[in-house]
Structure 1
């Protein structure tokens, strides 16, 4: 059992706005909220890297650019360039969508090459790289295949979903992903995590980061629970 303060729990959150119609004002609001709640990162579309990096300058909150989002259906070269461009414009975390079609076709060489090249760009700059599987389109054997490659290549995280597919994070998928990579790679849960109970369950299942657009609601729910219990922490069994 581990005791988590409210700030500890807030640092699990990648505060997210990936909507196609998000304005500059929406991005500034997202960054202001991240600063107010001390979230770990803002998760944004790649084109907004420069704006958000400027807003978060001087803080310990990261700018997380989504690459080949949300379909993952661009060439490796295009993903590498997009990653490099995001970093050039201030992104200091990368979440990229792997090529789901190649994974389902069993083309492990392609998936390993793609992962190796993008992870190399991130690690050259000493930045974290997260690989989005988009599990709603995958069978367990696909998840196992991708996680096995990740354990070899060593991105920093493997991630459940974009939040734009037909389904989001499930506890079963998180447990399977964690089982496959162990402590070699961390797991990020994203997609459909909108309340405190689900948030805590994802941590119990083994996630180290949670992508959600409901972070403020969740943290406020957790704060209310602590106040009601007269404590400054929540115990979670991992």
Structure 2
């Protein structure tokens, strides 16, 4: 069986399972989407990875990022790996988690380099990692490489490390999104995540709903990229997200005007 046939087979099987689940939900045999949540500012803040990934960002901005995360009680701060030591020191004892991106933003670096970056970030204080999938390998049908890439980062993790896999959904077809979710789950990831925020397309309710249906209730789904306001954030949670990546986190939870992305 060649790669195209394998992709078609996996897609057909997963889509069949999704259709069966949707049919059962329509007949009331299984639980459908969660009841729409209404939440407070503080409740929403607990879903958010407060994010700063701009290449031109300077130390004072990362200090501010940490101080904001402490003040508003965001779930984590998410930064590039070189900034992990700085934010880990500043956040020590506060309860705010340190998250590092890996292979960011393209995902095309050598797997050994990704694994090295992951180990370094963990040693420096990161307890969560957001790795970028090898998008080109996925679109080429090289599913073995995609899976081994994720497994290598998982092996670099400690038992308590949370691993999220960024799919870059804006670059994928519907079937590729399904396959990426399936591979991420098989490889032992804890979350699937929509986007880097650097590819021109961010999180959508439709993608979150699809990802949640594929991975099921036991795996995390993170929405990221282009989240601008409170209503959009809650809609993504209602669609199935249990983590949000935001560069405009304060604007999102307070209803102020968003000034930009990561």
Quote the residue 2:69 is aligned against. Answer: 34
Q: Return the TM-score normalized by structure 1.
A: 0.89
Residues 144-173 of structure 1: per-residue CA shift (max 9 Å, x gap)? 111111222231110000000021111111
Quote the residue 1:56 is aligned against. Answer: 91
Residues 98-145 of structure 1: per-residue CA shift (max 9 Å, x gap)? 1000011111111111111212222x3411010000011110111111
Within the candidate set 163, 178, 188, 1:129 is matched to: 163
Give distance in 2, aligned partners of 1:113 and 1:200.
34
Quote the residue 2:213 is aligned against. Answer: 179
2:139 corresponds to 1:104: yes
Quote the residue 1:141 is aligned against. Answer: 175
Give distance in 2, aligned partners of 1:171 and 1:41.
22
Preserved contact between residue 154 and residue 184 of structure 1 (Cα < 8 Å): no
2:58 corresponds to 1:18: no
Preserved contact between residue 64 and residue 93 of structure 1 (Cα < 8 Å): yes
2:138 corresponds to 1:114: no
Give distance in 1, aligned partners of 2:228 and 2:124.
30
Give distance in 1, aligned partners of 2:229 and 2:191.
23
Give distance in 2, aligned partners of 1:20 and 1:82.
17
Quote the residue 1:87 is aligned against. Answer: 122
Name stretches of at least 5 consecutive residues in structure 1 with no aligned partner. 223-238
Structural RMSD (CA): 1.3
SS at match of 2:53: coil
Residues 9-63 of structure 1: per-residue CA shift (max 9 Å, x gap)? 1110010110001111110000000000000011111100000000100011111
Quote the residue 1:233 is aligned against. Answer: none
Name stretches of at least 5 consecutive residues in structure 2 with no aligned partner. 1-34, 257-262
Within the candidate set 101, 113, 117, 1:66 is matched to: 101
Give distance in 1, aligned partners of 2:135 and 2:206.
20
How many angstroms does 1:92 deviate by?
1.3
Q: Return the TM-score normalized by structure 2.
A: 0.81
SS at match of 2:189: coil
Q: How many equivalent residue pairs?
A: 221
Within the candidate set 186, 189, 193, 2:227 is matched to: 193
SS at match of 1:129: strand
Structure 1 runs of 4+ aligned residues shifted over 4 Å read none
Preserved contact between residue 154 and residue 185 of structure 1 (Cα < 8 Å): no
